[in-house]
Chain A
Amino acid sequence: MKRTNEKFAEQFPTFQILNEEGKIVNEEKMPDLSEDELKELMTRMVYTRILDQRSIALNRQGRLGFYAPTAGQEASQLGSQFALEQDDFLLPAYRDVPQLIWQGLPLYKAFLWSRGHYVGSQMPEEVNALTPQIIIGAQYVQTAGVALGIKKRNEKRVAITYTGDGGTSQGDFYEGMNFAGAFNAPAIFIAQNNRFAISTPVEKQTAAKTLAQKAVAAGIEGIQVDGMDVLAVYVATKEARDRAVNGEGPTLIETLTYRYGPHTMAGDDPTRYRTEDLDSEWEQKDPLVRFRKYLEEKGIWSEDQENEIIEKAKADIKEAIKQADDTPKQKVTDLISNMYETLPANLQEQMEEYKAKESK
């Protein structure tokens, strides 16, 4: 008799399509993507890596505020987003700004969100999403509700959400999956396991050998994926989406990934809790490196193409920062008017007070 924990772990082997050398190791599961789509995936990953580098620099110059680095997680974030349709509903966590951007949030709004401006959270009409969630786990219970709403409307769409490895310890993580399971709702839950919740390694979150097996507690599908392999993440998400829209319920996807940078730019120093060996081990797994090798081997990617994207990203970022700079400053009267549809008496009174103050 095997112990339960090991028995479960065996049922959640890591799903991989592309190995570290850029070779296809799972031909059978290769997604049906055109050359243009493959190039688009790489384009987005390169662009997002540059966005991360520039965001860190801009944060250091004081031109951005709250920022949670994303380098290393491009395959996990963008491979999954690439499997979505425009009308799917996205509930991101604070590190999941790239998914929002590729779903259609203008870059300058992402920067305004980082700085702390309400315009950054006003989603364009065509973007079905909530602003990044700061309360770890809250997006999971809300996803169950969004998915149930979609089901009640008989629509062929899904709700998708993300959390980290640390987030899998929250009560809302379990409740969200369990509710979605009990209602057989079209939800995709992604746990991006980058091995650290700030300084706490995943081994201190749980004795479970995989995070994917937590799906068992909710009675839903679970899969562990190589989160540095953009093709595997894409396929896992696509399959989860297909099942969901076909009425087969939710899926938990664990992506094994890594963040090369700190937890956030608010003073976290990863050298206090991570070894250089671990960093370099994961640098060899870089999702960009292996996908680049794969595309170059196919003869559809070149250094020139990549440089073009890098230049485009830098130019877009410059323009977006300027647009963020040009956004009118927030006033207390703006904040008051965003509170209720109809202002209650106390806020009407305070509105008058601040109007007078602002007109001086």
Chain B
Amino acid sequence: MAQMTMIQAITDALRCELRDDENVLIFGEDVGKNGGVFRATEGLQDEFGEDRVFDTPLAESGIGGLAIGLATQGFRPVPEIQFFGFVYEVMDSISGQMARMRYRSGNSENAPITIRSPFGGGVHTPEMHADSLEGLMAQQPGLKVVIPSNPYDAKGLLISSIRDNDPVIYLEHMKLYRSFRDEVPEDSYEVELGKAKITREGTDVTLIAYGAMVQASVKAAEELEKDGISAEVVDLRTIAPFDVETVVESVKKTGRAVVVQEAQRVAGIASQIVAEIQERAILHLEAPVLRVTAPDTVYAFTQAEEVWLPNHKDIVAKVNDVINY
């Protein structure tokens, strides 16, 4: 075991997979010699060579096409999109092409591609860097969307994503890259895709969260405990398709739920979660399921992030609304 930040855990997962499967290829803008703009691929080109870890021209759509083409030749591409706000340039390759590859070929081709991309607010990035666009991906049949919230899950989920024989969008929250360390095994291990984790057990209300909002939810739960409210925190880990069973079981136990996301209210996946809960557990609900989200504006100008991004105080307030309904 070693103490690792999330970004170190990600690099470690990539190193494990490059070592264990010669078909794994890592490529993108500045991921080679430079080791990535966040150092996520630091040292990998030196260790595995330019044939395995390489830079590309600056064109996201081309990178997506490259991944698809390489997949047809038996490779296991792990491309990077420098910031997920740039996904619009490559929407066709992702949603229009690789997500449909197996289906459109009648199961005769597949696309074992893992797209890594940073996103998320709170680190004062310029325009189109921090936007939460996981909701767009979650609506595309054929994709899986994974968002880790801590170093241990980050490594295991990335290894599982790379080994998956269908395309996975693996989103890395920038604020979580170096914010804390965790015990991470040095060997390879997998964290199953599509399975949520109960981060904190509770009995009065279920907080369903992912990404940076998991930490915020845990912080909120700690404050609520002081007021005698026991909150259970469910970390989705895979947001599409998400673990309906774990969510519904928790809600049946607590009778109350708040869904927490960093994305705007019209975006993200909170609405989908609310819909599943009301279809499957309405008779267990003591109160409506409420959502904590960002407001429905374009992502905040840098200096407005603090007032705009949802935080633990918003979660505490919303839980009180649900408790006092």
Chain A residues in 8 Å Cβ range of B179: none
Q: Does A360 contact B (CB under 8 A)?
A: no
Q: Which residue of B lies closest to A349 (CB)?
A: B244
Whole-angstrom distance between the Cβ of A153 and the nearest chain B Cβ: 6
Q: Which residue of B lies closest to A340 (CB)?
A: B166
CB-based contact B70/A335 at 8 Å: no
Chain A residues in 8 Å Cβ range of B108: 121-123
Chain A residues in 8 Å Cβ range of B194: 344-345
Instruction: State the interface size on chain A (CB cutoff 8 A).
Output: 42
CB-based contact B56/A179 at 8 Å: yes
Q: Does A217 contact B (CB under 8 A)?
A: no
Chain A residues in 8 Å Cβ range of B109: 123, 130
Q: Does A119 contact B (CB under 8 A)?
A: yes
Query: How does the 8 Å CB contact mask read for A161-205 relative to B, with 1 for contact and 0 for none?
Result: 000000000011001101100100000000000000000000000
CB-based contact A146/B106 at 8 Å: no
Among B96-104, B223-231, B283-291, B309-317, the stretch that binds chain A is B96-104
Chain B residues in 8 Å Cβ range of A244: none
How far apart are the CA atoms of A150 and B74 in the complex, in Å? 10
How far apart are the CA atoms of A149 and B142 in the complex, in Å? 23
Question: Which residues, 228 to 252 on B, are CB-close (under 8 Å) to A?
Answer: 241, 243-245
CB-based contact A339/B97 at 8 Å: no
CB-based contact B57/A149 at 8 Å: no
Instruction: Pick from B59, B73, B97, B106: contact of A179, CB below 8 A.
Output: B59
CB-based contact A148/B65 at 8 Å: no
Q: Does B45 contact A (CB under 8 A)?
A: no
Q: Does B144 contact A (CB under 8 A)?
A: yes
Query: How does the 8 Å CB contact mask read for B143-166 relative to A, with 1 for contact and 0 for none?
Result: 010000000000000000000111
The size class of the interface chain B forms with chain A is 35 or more
Q: Does B68 contact A (CB under 8 A)?
A: yes
Whole-angstrom distance between the Cβ of A152 and the nearest chain B Cβ: 7
Take A149-B74, A344-B194 as given contacts and tell me if A339 and B141 are in contact as well, using a CB distance cutoff of 8 Å: yes
CB-based contact B244/A346 at 8 Å: yes
Q: Does A354 contact B (CB under 8 A)?
A: no
CB-based contact B73/A141 at 8 Å: no
CB-based contact B241/A145 at 8 Å: no
Whole-angstrom distance between the Cβ of B21 and the nearest chain A Cβ: 14
Q: Does B324 contact A (CB under 8 A)?
A: no
CB-based contact B65/A142 at 8 Å: yes
Question: Which residues, 120 to 159 on A, are CB-close (under 8 Å) to B?
Answer: 120-123, 130-131, 135, 138, 140-150, 152-153, 159
Chain B residues in 8 Å Cβ range of A145: 65-73
B contacts, CB < 8 Å to A: 25, 51, 56-57, 59, 61-62, 64-75, 92-93, 96-97, 102-110, 141-142, 144, 164-166, 194, 241, 243-245
28 A–B contacts from the bound complex (CB under 8 Å): A118-B103, A118-B104, A121-B104, A122-B106, A122-B108, A123-B105, A123-B108, A135-B97, A138-B92, A141-B62, A142-B69, A142-B97, A143-B69, A145-B65, A172-B92, A175-B61, A176-B65, A178-B57, A179-B56, A179-B57, A179-B66, A182-B57, A335-B103, A338-B102, A339-B141, A344-B144, A345-B194, A345-B243
